[in-house]
Structure 1
């Protein structure tokens, strides 16, 4: 008996505030400055933004933070014209520790979530056979070392140990024939694994105190997830044909390259601009491989395309203790119209950010807010054409200690 199960879901990117699956708000200060940091970050969060920047700490810098992501994503199918929405919530955390050994050498470690998403469509969602509920997270443990061969030149390198998890739930309709029409159930898919990668960066003070240039690269990370499938809700006549079994999913997290410039035109003002390239073309399809019943296997074609995103930001020191910030981001989706589906909903993003920081004694608190405008994105995906769009609110909060 031929049995076909379309499993088109890996993770839903709706709750990621950056295009694709990226989460680029990894510190409260950077969040307020439009997520810039390749040339402008010179604290412990540089472990994420540019490894070379950790040499900017005084002696010791410790940061703990999180980015609260609240999304209002809507989809209007062409067939009905009735908009359906989801409102997921995600709190990806981050933590950094850096110790400056001497003026030329610094070391540290960061833990953060560079990719992640959380999606839950309503129970009557028109595309529930494609996607209903899904969660993904990658946790990056990033030991980092930076060295300054010259006073104006900083080099950094890091090692990435990445732990990834995925949990997916969707409706499954039993094929007819051989089963009577209308028989359905659910499948829950879960898996996890470790992957390895590296990152490297450079910062150069072209005009000391006024102009800094930066470059930062993160390698791809291959993830070979293994886990289980759990079928439920089928009547007895069909349950025997949908047996729980091991699954496998191979994913390549994309490499990225960041180019940045930081300018200090006056003592209290810092301006920054970044251009970031992401190799999203590493995601051409998503395929859960069922180890017992390979006839269930069917790839979800994505054919994502490489993209550049652009960010600008600024910080003004009102006093020695208080700083205010603002920024803007243009972040285009890597998904072409033909493959844009509710399992990975996406749209071009415009992000407007504001923030502030306050230092007292050896402690400081940095907060940033981003209003994310998901531009209306047309989907020509044959099974379910329509339009995606919405908004998101991102709040980045970081507590820091630097004696």
Structure 2
């Protein structure tokens, strides 16, 4: 067992078990959109357009403020290739949130706003003694994005927009056991990595076109951001005194690409009460080839072995990821039942970017099917939005032979199965 086993946990850096998208991407940015399968690129529903398509913001006639929160409840199971009991993830509830404030000019041509959302974040903790404890025992991560946005209507049918995407806060804590002789208890030492990401800036831009009252089209592009942890803390525990000199690393650096996404969307409005949307998202996951950790100090030669030796005074370890570009397809609809009540439904299918033989415990990804429902009730200038999502990931199996063939023996052979339930609620005020 070598230090690469630790690196697979780092694959969840600012990510985690994605609730509604492949890899470590999460799209829970708007409650109305959540109830419609996550569509929004070709629609101008509300201020959440800042996330889905900044170009549509100028076409949102009601300016306002909205806030929403979701609870992701994941049930994940693992069974080793070599038999034994089924291991289940310890239950945790994570609450990604979003906040939008949008304002516009009196002539309805110019709009601006600020968006705050949490697109990456999760807490995962496996049961004590599980087969992959030398790869991962626990991860807890958080992130907050801030996006100031502007949008302008070039005509009454065409608008454009853009925003700065700022990784304002990111933090990760990941842990695993280390097999060493002479350790107390179960015969395992323990390592914990804890770090905060540096502030990074990207952009989100889009265009929105509504040629008729019954048809709308949209396209958007969200740029890649490299999330970097510099000088994160390394803490070893339960290490025998006789091996202390081998575990002296105190800090680490790591970088994780948050990939670019290109999206197109279409909206249909057959009548004043019914809205139908279709989206396709193309995520450039292929940028994620290798995860590299740089350690300052001895990372445990003899107990943990670096893959590349000493480089510039830091032990360097790498772990292969080899992600592939992937599509997500979404469809949804909403229907206004009364002047105050609107109901929604939708679905999505997400193609996993993780190749066979490259599945990791922190993100045991697979192709996934999502089903959604939602509703809104408006009373005067105030409104409440609720949504619910059920995400079913296909059962994913990898064997020891797969791992050896791909040189990915730093992860675990076995079968993963994950289901996620995501209720959400939001409040909005329009003016």
Q: TM-score range by the shorter chain?
A: over 0.9
1:157-205: per-residue Cα shift (whole Å, max 9, x none)?
A: 000110322110111123x7x999x853111101122111001001100
Partners of 2:423 and 2:159 in 1: CA distance: 31
Q: Aligned residue for 1:65? A: 68
2:38 paired residue among 10, 35, 41: 35
Q: Which moved more, 1:56-65 or 1:45-54?
A: 56-65
Give unmatched runs, 5+ long, in structure 2: 300-305, 307-314
1:123 paired residue among 124, 128, 131: 128
Partners of 2:261 and 2:394 in 1: CA distance: 24
Q: Which has the higher strand share?
A: 1
Q: Secondary structure at the match of 1:381?
A: helix
Q: Aligned residue for 2:171? A: 165
1:285-332: per-residue Cα shift (whole Å, max 9, x none)?
A: 222210223645422211111100000000000011100000010012
Q: Aligned residue for 1:235? A: 240
Q: Aligned residue for 2:342? A: 323
C-alpha RMSD over aligned residues: 2.0
Partners of 1:5 and 1:217 in 2: CA distance: 34
Partners of 1:344 and 1:369 in 2: CA distance: 22
Q: Aligned residue for 1:184? A: 188
Q: Is the 8 A contact 1:26 1:396 kept in 2?
A: no
Partners of 1:337 and 1:117 in 2: CA distance: 24
With over 3 angstroms needed to count, the CA separation of the structure-2 counterparts of 1:4 and 1:353, relative to structure 1, is: closer
Output the TM-score relative to the length of structure 2: 0.88
Partners of 1:214 and 1:261 in 2: CA distance: 6
Q: Which moved more, 1:56-65 or 1:320-329?
A: 56-65
Shift of 1:20: 0.9
Partners of 2:246 and 2:5 in 1: CA distance: 15
Q: Aligned residue for 2:219? A: 215
2:375 paired residue among 348, 353, 356: 356
Q: Secondary structure at the match of 2:71?
A: strand
Q: Aligned residue for 2:428? A: 400
Q: Secondary structure at the match of 2:20?
A: coil
Q: Is the 8 A contact 1:253 1:282 kept in 2?
A: no
Q: Aligned residue for 2:24? A: 21
Whether 1:276 and 2:267 are equivalent positions in the alignment is: no
Give unmatched runs, 5+ long, in structure 1: none
Q: Is the 8 A contact 2:390 2:420 kept in 1?
A: yes
Q: Secondary structure at the match of 2:58?
A: helix
Q: Secondary structure at the match of 2:166?
A: strand
Q: Is the 8 A contact 1:58 1:402 kept in 2?
A: no
Q: Aligned residue for 2:98? A: 94
Partners of 1:323 and 1:376 in 2: CA distance: 35
Shift of 1:63: 0.7
Shift of 1:81: 5.0
Q: Secondary structure at the match of 1:287?
A: strand
Whether 1:377 and 2:396 are equivalent positions in the alignment is: yes
Partners of 1:333 and 1:248 in 2: CA distance: 27
Whether 1:340 and 2:359 are equivalent positions in the alignment is: yes
Q: Which moved more, 1:240-249 or 1:120-129?
A: 240-249
Partners of 1:22 and 1:307 in 2: CA distance: 12
Partners of 1:242 and 1:266 in 2: CA distance: 67
1:331-365: per-residue Cα shift (whole Å, max 9, x none)?
A: 12111111112133112110111110000111111
Q: Secondary structure at the match of 1:338?
A: coil
Q: Aligned residue for 2:303? A: none
Q: Is the 8 A contact 1:340 1:381 kept in 2?
A: no
Aligned length: 397
Q: Secondary structure at the match of 1:387?
A: strand
Partners of 1:4 and 1:401 in 2: CA distance: 51
Q: Is the 8 A contact 2:246 2:298 kept in 1?
A: no
With over 3 angstroms needed to count, the CA separation of the structure-2 counterparts of 1:60 and 1:326, relative to structure 1, is: same
